[in-house]
Chains A and B, each alone.
Chain A
């Protein structure tokens, strides 16, 4: 029973394409996040949703658009992919205490 799941695990695509990553959590948490981890392993928050409402929107290009159809799902759509978008993208959810549970990650490679 995976707590936070993401699909796909790997994504290899050409520059300029549009792609989506899906995330689901079965922990009953109200808050979900998207993080980007670059090649130097820095973890940077991109977005956060609380009960389907966007509450954190860091300085992320408009090509990235999150969508939360319900509080258990948070998807990430990326338009016009660029080389610099190559990274590992982690979805996470958090309890009221704040501890975060991460998904397994999606390794995106843009060629």
Chain B
């Protein structure tokens, strides 16, 4: 079955440092989504990437979809304590009936 792995599993950064999480799928995807889950909360949709090589920005967050549509990354510039949480990518396969496979997640801790 489809597997979606994320690295690193955990990341501790000093406030103000940059952070990147990488997402790799075992199969080609039709699109990739990113979600953020705050401690004790539920996953919240951040963005969806559809095109090969697509790059999207949301303030300090930059999302990228690989050329082969099998990998993606999320980069946060100058982290803040409000960035704390677990970041999940979620891949959707072509032709699938909206089934989305979530990645293993990267837990970000920001040290003030």
Contact = CB atoms under 8 A, between A and B. Distances in A.
A55 B31 CA distance: 20
Interface string B69-81: 0000000000000
A102 B97 CA distance: 18
B20 to A, nearest CB: 19
B101 interface: yes
B86 A100 contact: no
Given A41-B86, A43-B88, A98-B33, A56 B105 contact: no
Contacts of A56: 97, 99
A100 B33 CA distance: 9
A45 B101 contact: yes
A99 B33 contact: yes
A108 to B, nearest CB: 15
Contact of A103 (B42, B48, B88, B92): B42
B84 interface: no
Nearest to B101: A45
Contacts, number: 56
A92 B41 CA distance: 14
B48 A97 contact: yes
Contacts of B88: 43
B97 A43 contact: no
B104 interface: yes
A99 B105 contact: no
22 contacts: A35-B102, A41-B86, A42-B102, A42-B104, A43-B102, A44-B102, A45-B99, A45-B100, A45-B102, A48-B99, A50-B98, A56-B99, A90-B43, A92-B43, A94-B100, A98-B31, A98-B92, A99-B45, A102-B43, A102-B44, A104-B41, A105-B42
